[in-house]
Structure 1
């Protein structure tokens, strides 16, 4: 029983609580926040197997990214885009070295192309065998300083970083490495001849800016955080040029006098959701309010309420509410995966067990990847140490969480459309027969090994491409497999209420709103979009 009382476990049920069985696409793509799943797994391993010694892993604790306040928004995006490694995250305000700049260039190239540079690498330098330097050299991103030297610890100037990053662009796609401008900087003459084409490209595309409107200061040293910001701007520009940004399901709602923007979210964190299209990002910059189903940044406050709904009163248990056959199936499933026994979870109700069971049986597979294993730092080879330091320090929030955190950065007001208590009440208030039917579907799919990942990947691909019709077909397929009570509560009723909320926001003449709800609520015959159209509002898909 105490296992499921782990904070992360019940928070996993709290975050956008509309999680369905594993076989329901809505449950997979519109449910639990990825970030919290990861913490759930870590806490679950500790609690079920005993907390492991962390002495050997302390050296590999994620570094704190202590960026300057002015850099916060863009460094955050650089991390979401996977451009930050553990090495680059350390002492991020400090000046960047040539070796770390090479690493930043390689990481940018790998994210732009999807290629990993590996294998045996030529080492022409006598003063470094850093694999990132050798990768950058192989790609033609960097050169030595002469006499077989690289000078890895030397600082990097603004103009030299422009050259390194320009080379990363060139190597990823030469056709896009174009850009020129007439410089108005009074110190343009200080830019070395070899760096002028790269610097012109960076300036013409808004990637690098002057220290002031008239001063470029090309030979001053540049910091890690500035480097990450340059990489972030390039990554956005290249993805826009490739037409590879995520378009999502994005609508403009108008009453003829005022517009409100409506974005369909994928609640599950996935790197394929980023970068989000420039249209969406630019629209969000100017809003005063963001409206979401649940403000998941305040999930810690929900603990007591969730557990009051999820747990049985004394004298009752899971066995009382489900068939003996289903109870036995769950028991065997847990025994097979060697995580918990049925006795550990029988104090929790079916709707809650349904949400956490896929994570519980997934712990075994996650353990096989080395999560929770001690790292023997003293006996690692230099190559192994370097690989750890080069791990991406990536953060992949769900779309709603991304915009909530952006809202906090921009001091945008956060408004809840429903609130977590509404969603908890909805799930816990379903009939015993519906709760059991949904749980039975989940158990059946876990027993037979049905893998929803292909369906989830397809759904995300449709969302990323802005393919409204195909996304709708997946949601309809999901609804066809679910009980009518579930569909009525999860979809139809909520869609009407969400549409009513949007109507309220339209009537608020003094404020504008950016509304983020699960993408499944914006498609189908009873969708928020259809409801608003039936009320006479103009709803336009922004593609």
Structure 2
């Protein structure tokens, strides 16, 4: 049996198939339904929802901070948020323990970052809006010392007609649109609510990432030369908070587009998901041990039992769906990677009820693709997924660290993909997904070449239809790159394809 390398298998699935992001969740299907939680009286204001949602995606503060929105923020709340921001932004762990529960760890971290002695008596003091603005300004300078201090002409407020008389922190945050006030008042001496603290934290994080040009650049191109403009964004279907925020060029292109085109519309999959789940399982009494080798079944059963999956469930999975399930469970158990944080899922959520979402393939197509592979190739998927990292190729093992060796291959693979995606390094991304010459012709042809051609033809239709619309196309990054990818095919056709980063 011709075996696909484990790394190539992982790369292919993570970068080229939306279905990877939502294979059947056994734990949910077997979990008991919890009692509904009592509705929280303290809900965030409508004006703050978008910023709070993005703050949740950035994964800066603990979930416990998303409560008590209308309460006055304390100095402790303020500095916990500041320390968490610093650690997230820099990747440096300055706190020796969790600052939300260890007062000494918080005091030490505040001193390291802000050079401030944070006394026990300060913990319960109310944080004013001025306090929070000052802390945010110092935080920005701490994480990005070279941040441009130039301020634009500032508007006037009823309680601050001459901003030049106020602190530089206020002037800066107002001029950058981060501090907006309420009813034309800044209210700097008033208490800052927890909601206001979190919103400003979210805005400052986004702004600082954009100004420092460290926001994710992605695999992103603009196609021109046809009747319409098409933007191409190569997706990573499983991701984590590191890819957020994405850079302004990408987000502004999306906002200015009329239509979002994706492999599979994840917001409308009820029928397709039922079809997929039916195809994932044998329906005729066959069990997986009857179609794979005894040695492989032993490995497979041990792996599934390590995730507490019942035998009656894993025995009826087909080899292709068993491989996908193991990949997802490994990613969930050993990292923060999630389909909900995938690039395509993010843009579908943004487009929901704002602009039309059209499918290029659909869930049934992707399910039939996998279910239609030969028995030999499906078993090869499972062999590749179950192979330990030590069985990787020499060139792969040379680049692995001791920490990498302890991770499942799906996690180290996604780490590599995201690192290149964030920097917009297309050459490195192309090198990662270089075709496996040892893979079967069946796999390369059906998984890559035929799908690339179909997507390319679909993009041609978008470019040349008479709608005068701008299309924002998000498909797996692996389809965009290489000599047989969508970008090269469009260039060969005579279109101008410019990378935006």
Q: What's the TM-score bracket when you normalise by the shorter of the two chains? A: 0.7 to 0.9
Question: Which position in structure 2 is the counterpart of 1:108?
Answer: 85
Alignment correspondent of 1:402: 346
TM-score by length of 1: 0.76
The C-alpha deviation readout for 1:399-458, integer Å capped at 9, x for no partner, is 1111111223x7222222111111111111112222122222223347958735434322
1:5 match? none
Residues 1:322 and 2:298 aligned together: no
**Residue 139 of structure 1, aligned match among 99, 113, 118:** 113
Instruction: Tell me whether 1:494 sits opposite 2:463 in the alignment.
Output: no
SS of the aligned residue for 1:517 comes to strand
CA contact (8 A) 1:22 1:28 kept: no
Residue in 2 that maps onto 1:381: none
Q: Would you say the 8 A contact 1:438–1:482 is kept in 2?
A: no
In the alignment, the residues of structure 2 paired with residue 204 and residue 130 of structure 1 have an alpha-carbon distance, to the nearest angstrom, of: 36
Aligned to 1:485: 442
Offset at residue 85 of structure 1 (A): 2.3
Distance verdict in 2 for CA 1:443–1:102, change over 3 Å: closer
Which residue of 322, 326, 334 maps to 1:353? 322
Change in 2 beyond 3 A, CA 1:75/1:422: same
1:438 to 372, 381, 385: 381
Q: How far does residue 535 in structure 1 lie from its aligned partner after superposition?
A: 3.3
* Cα distance change, pair 334–323 in 1 and its aligned pair in 2 (3 A): same
Q: Tell me what 1:187 maps to.
A: 158
Is the Cα contact below 8 Å between 1:191 and 1:218 reproduced in 2? no
Unaligned runs of 5+ in 1: 1-19, 123-127, 370-391
1:412 to 352, 355, 368: 355
Q: Distance in 2 between matches of 1:65 and 1:467?
A: 44
Hey, what does 1:91 align to over in structure 2?
68
Name 1:10's counterpart in structure 2. none
Q: How does 1:252-401 map to 2 (within 5 A)?
A: 252-331=222-301, 333-334=303-304, 337=306, 339-340=308-309, 344-359=313-328, 397-401=341-345
Q: Secondary structure at the match of 2:169?
A: helix
- C-alpha displacement at 1:541, in angstroms? 1.3
- Matching of residues 137-176 of structure 1 within 5 Å: 139-140=113-114, 149-150=121-122, 152-154=124-126, 156-176=127-147
Q: 1:191 & 1:99 partners in 2: Cα distance?
A: 31
CA displacement at 1:526 relative to structure 2: 1.7
Inter-partner Cα distance in structure 1 for 2:340 and 2:106? 24
The alpha-carbon distance between structure 1 residues 31 and 136, as it changes in their structure 2 partners (threshold 3 A), is farther
What's 1:43 paired with?
Answer: 28
Contact 2:228 2:469 in 1 (8 A): no
- Separation (CA, whole Å) in 2 of partners of 1:289 and 1:338: 40
Q: Report the alpha carbon displacement of residue 209 of structure 1 after superposing the two structures with TM.
A: 1.9
Aligned: 1:200 with 2:171: yes
Provide the C-alpha distance between the structure 1 equivalents of 2:307 and 2:130, rounded to a whole number of angstroms. 57
1:537 paired residue number: 495
Q: CA deviation at 1:211?
A: 3.1
After TM superposition, give the deviation of residue 33 of structure 1 in Å: 8.2
Structure 2: gaps spanning 5 or more residues: 1-5, 392-404
Number of aligned residues: 477
Correspondence for 1:470: 428
Q: Report the Cα offset of residue 397 of structure 1.
A: 0.5
Tell me if the contact between 1:319 and 1:346 (Cα under 8 Å) persists in the aligned partners.
yes
What's the TM-score once normalised by structure 2's chain length? 0.81
Relative distance call for 1:103 and 1:333 in structure 2 (3 A) is closer
RMSD of aligned residue pairs (Cα, Å): 3.9
How many Å separate the matches in 2 of 1:473 and 1:291? Answer: 26
Q: Is the 8 A contact 1:251 1:262 kept in 2?
A: yes
CA distance in 1, matches of 2:413, 2:123: 49
Question: Are positions 1:521 and 2:479 aligned together?
Answer: yes
From the superposition, tell whether residues 129 and 34 of structure 1 become closer, same or farther in structure 2 (CA, over 3 Å).
farther
Query: Once the 2 structures are TM-superposed, how far is the Cα of residue 205 of structure 1 from its aligned partner?
Result: 2.0
CA contact (8 A) 1:102 1:141 kept: no
Listed one character per residue, the Cα deviations across residues 248-304 of structure 1 (whole Å, up to 9, x for unaligned) are 110111134431111111111222212211211122222222111112234454342
Partner secondary structure for residue 232 of structure 1: helix
Distance 1:176 1:500 in 2: 44
